[in-house]
Amino acid sequence: MLNQNNMIENNKIKVVGISGSLRKDSFNTGLLQAAVALAPAEIELEISEIGQLPLFNQDFEINLPAAVQEFKNKIKAADAVLFVGPEYNYSISGVLKNAIDWGSRPYGDNSFKGKLAAIMGGSTGNIATARMQYHLRQILVALDMHPLNRPEVMVGAIQEKFDIEGNLIDDYTKNKISEMLSALVIWSKRLKI
């Protein structure tokens, strides 16, 4: 179920943003930071780091490491998750999968269940994370999330879309991000009817 309490508290859709790249100058993290700046008034978007999570090990899922518990709590308190990622070998990055696996466990305590989801990503290639995004959509079925279908935000030649200081400077990409966040607001209203 959506976290109705958050919505009632401040009347905003609480979104947790996760970047699947740990690289210091990651373009995908740059997209996520741009989304924070572009978020409409109805959305509160907070970035959650995943680099501090240990490698998933099912031996530890009963007594969860503190970093994992903290991550799960953030997801549980949110209405939606914005997944932002590079495409690694035609799929999602290992670090993103690691975070997703932790968040989904232990059995019966899937922190992602029932949340809205939105996806965006960029790559240096022309296929622009399409393969990664469709793999991720398959995973969202397992997580029982409610992904936004469109607009799809797939950014090719991403290295050309940022200035030297890491600011997103491409108007088309900025507009796509804004459109997606606005569509997420509408999607959340539709699911609450």
- The site for ligand FNR (CB under 6 A) is made up of 21, 23, 26-28, 86-90, 123-125, 127
Which residue's CB is nearer to ligand FNR, number 124 or number 182? 124
- Please answer whether residues 102 and 70 qualify as being in contact, where contact means their C-beta atoms are separated by less than 8 angstroms: no
Smallest distance from ligand FNR to CB 186, Å: 28
Which residue's CB is nearer to ligand FNR, number 6 or number 91? 91
The Cβ-side half-sphere exposure at 76, using a 13 Å CA radius, reads 13
Bridge partners (DSSP) of residue 146 are: 116
Smallest distance from ligand FNR to CB 67, Å: 21
Smallest distance from ligand FNR to CB 1, Å: 32
Smallest distance from ligand FNR to CB 157, Å: 10
- Please answer whether residues 187 and 149 qualify as being in contact, where contact means their C-beta atoms are separated by less than 8 angstroms: no
Which residue's CB is nearer to ligand FNR, number 23 or number 192? 23
Backbone angles phi, psi at 18, to 5 degrees: -125, 125
Helix 66-76 and helix 94-103, axial crossing angle in degrees, nearest 10: 80
Which residue's CB is nearer to ligand FNR, number 91 or number 178? 91
Backbone angles phi, psi at 159, to 5 degrees: -65, -20
Q: For the chain, what is the radius of gyration of the CA atoms?
A: 16
Smallest distance from ligand FNR to CB 53, Å: 17
- CA dist., res. 12 & res. 15, Å (int): 9
- CA dist., res. 193 & res. 190, Å (int): 6
Which residue's CB is nearer to ligand FNR, number 28 or number 111? 28
Taking the alpha carbons at both ends of the chain, their separation in whole angstroms is 12
